[in-house]
Amino acid sequence: MMKSKWEYIRRLSVLDQNTIDENDENIGVAKGFRAILEMYVDPTDSILDLTCGKKLMWDDKYISETYKNVFFNDINPEREADYHFNCSKIEGINYDWYVFDPPYVNIKKRTKDARADAYAYDIGGSIEDLEKLTKATIESILKTGCWKGVIVKICDFHWKNELRGHHDMIRWFLESGYFILWDLRIYRFLRRNGGIPITCYKKKCMKTHSYYLIFKTRG
């Protein structure tokens, strides 16, 4: 009997932002993403970050010492990147892994946040725009070639009184028929005193966690 596409979900795990590392420091975005790379990506694998922005997820020193085949793309020509094409129109060779961190949808720009420019809040348009971009990106990845998988980072958001985001992304990737959801890692934002920040912008995303969705190719 043919398995349902929903049977291709393997595991669920949690990565806390305030987990203490070997230097007694909180794990930030770059160290959190480094943990993802170490778990799934071999040092010899080729990686293309489709939406690198200001590369906040990347630990430059670690990457330069560990991964030799990392390439960066951002549609903004002012960003420091190897390529500047639309992530739904990939050009060049195929890669082992792709990283896809799509634009935020319906997340309030915090004017006091010094990193607002890097995070580029609320430029993703509508949920329909996100779906169109994601499906076009998946199609482009499949045309270019993907040997191992795609790592997606996404925050949930409110849209027309519904919580949307990671479950939509899972559905869009599984519907392609080419990927399985190998792992879902929750990256929680915790305060230094251990409490969970429940600041909720009116009808905006509750900034308590992000998702890393690890999709692997079927085979």
Confidence (pLDDT) at 37: 92
Confidence (pLDDT) at 32: 81
Tell me the CA distances in angstroms from 4 to 8, 22, 150, 177, 215, one per residue in order.
8, 42, 21, 11, 16
- Whether 3 is in a domain gets the answer no
Please check whether residue 182 is in contact with residue 216, taking contact to mean a CB–CB distance below 8 angstroms: yes
Residues near 121 by Cβ (< 8 Å), separated by ≥ 6? Answer: 104, 107, 108, 109, 110
- CA nearest to 29, candidates 99, 126, 82: 99
Does 94 have pLDDT greater than 80? yes
Consecutive H or E run containing 136? helix 127-144
- CA nearest to 119, candidates 205, 215, 213: 205
Does 148 have pLDDT greater than 90? yes
- Whether 19 is in a domain gets the answer yes
- Whether 4 is in a domain gets the answer no
pLDDT (tens digit per residue) in 151-164: 999 888 778 878 88
Does 124 have pLDDT greater than 60? no
- Tally of domains within the chain: 1
Maximum pairwise Cα distance, the chain: 55
Does 63 have pLDDT greater than 80? yes
pLDDT (tens digit per residue) in 6-35: 444 455 666 655 555 556 566 677 888 888
Confidence of residue 95 (pLDDT cuts 50, 70, 90): very high
CATH of the domain at 29: 3.40.50.150
How far is the first Cα of the chain from the last one, in angstroms, to the nearest whole number?
Answer: 17
Confidence of residue 200 (pLDDT cuts 50, 70, 90): very low
- Whether 97 is in a domain gets the answer yes
% of the chain exceeding 90 in pLDDT: 32
Q: Rounded to 5 degrees, what are φ and ψ at 128?
A: -70, -40
Q: Which domain holds residue 46?
A: 11-217
Please check whether residue 178 is in contact with residue 125, taking contact to mean a CB–CB distance below 8 angstroms: no
Confidence (pLDDT) at 216: 93
- CA nearest to 98, candidates 136, 137, 126, 130: 137
